[in-house]
Amino acid sequence: MVRSLSALLLLVICFGTCCSQAPEGKKLIDEINAAKVKARHLGEEAEVKRKEAREKDRSDDHSEHDRLIEEAAKLYGQVADALSEAANKAKELAKLRNPSWYEEYFGLQANLIGNLAQLAAGAKEELLVRKNGVPSESQMQSWKDNLLRIREENEKYRKQIMAIESRQGVVLIKE
């Protein structure tokens, strides 16, 4: 009987501790997921603008091409901002010590999302550079190197994140 009460008391304490942090964590998790959805939609919109700009360039409508490139670049800037904000929220969650796996999981998520923000910022930069002329060989090489590095890092982060999600039986941040 005493053992049962002790076990029940321990369960109540653990549940209470876990739940006392859950609202803050839940709110940040929801905000990260919302930011990722927003970024995805903005990115899709930017790609539509970019495609339309290519079509205008082929038809020699340079002023419309430039306007569309500016819009696409602005959208990619918004993607980068939304993802940077989400990465910062993941860093906040990584500071929570309960549950213990949050630090690793959200640290990896912060790195992954931060890299995605870098890609969006790079897309913005590339559009603006190309709008104003031909990029230099060093710029092109830098972009390629950065893209390759980020893809490799993100693949590693995704594998580590999936292992944690599998082990914990939960997916908190949607892809």
Residue 9 lies inside a defined structural domain of this protein: no
DSSP assignment of the chain equals -HHHHHHHHHHHHHHHHHHHHHHHHHHHHHHHHHHHHHHHHHHHHHHHHHHHHHHHHHTT-HHHHHHHHHHHHHHHHHHHHHHHHHHHHHHHHHT--SSTTHHHHHHHHHHHHHHHHHHHHHHHHHHHHHHTSPPPHHHHHHHHHHHHHHHHHHHHHHHHHHHHHHHHT---S--
Q: Is the pLDDT of residue 13 over 80?
A: no
Average pLDDT over residues 119-142: 94
The pLDDT tens digits for 64-119 are 999 999 999 999 999 999 999 999 999 999 999 889 999 999 999 999 999 999 99
Residue 144 lies inside a defined structural domain of this protein: yes
Residue 57 lies inside a defined structural domain of this protein: yes
Residue 104 lies inside a defined structural domain of this protein: yes
The total domain count for the chain is: 1
Q: Is the pLDDT of residue 16 over 50?
A: no
Distance CA 133, CA 142 (A): 17
Residue 17 lies inside a defined structural domain of this protein: no
Q: Which residue has the higher pLDDT, 6 or 79?
A: 79
Residue 136 lies inside a defined structural domain of this protein: yes
The per-residue pLDDT for 78 is 98
Residue 63 lies inside a defined structural domain of this protein: yes
Question: Which of 10-14, 47-51, 135-139, 163-167 shows the lowest mean pLDDT across its residues?
Answer: 10-14
The per-residue pLDDT for 175 is 84
The per-residue pLDDT for 57 is 86
Q: Is the pLDDT of residue 8 over 60?
A: no
Which residue range is the domain that position 157 belongs to?
24-168
Q: What band does 21 get if pLDDT is binned at 50, 70 and 90?
A: very low
Question: Which residue's entry shows tokens 């490799």?
Answer: 152
Q: Which residue has the higher pLDDT, 118 or 3?
A: 118
The per-residue pLDDT for 24 is 66
Residue 173 lies inside a defined structural domain of this protein: no
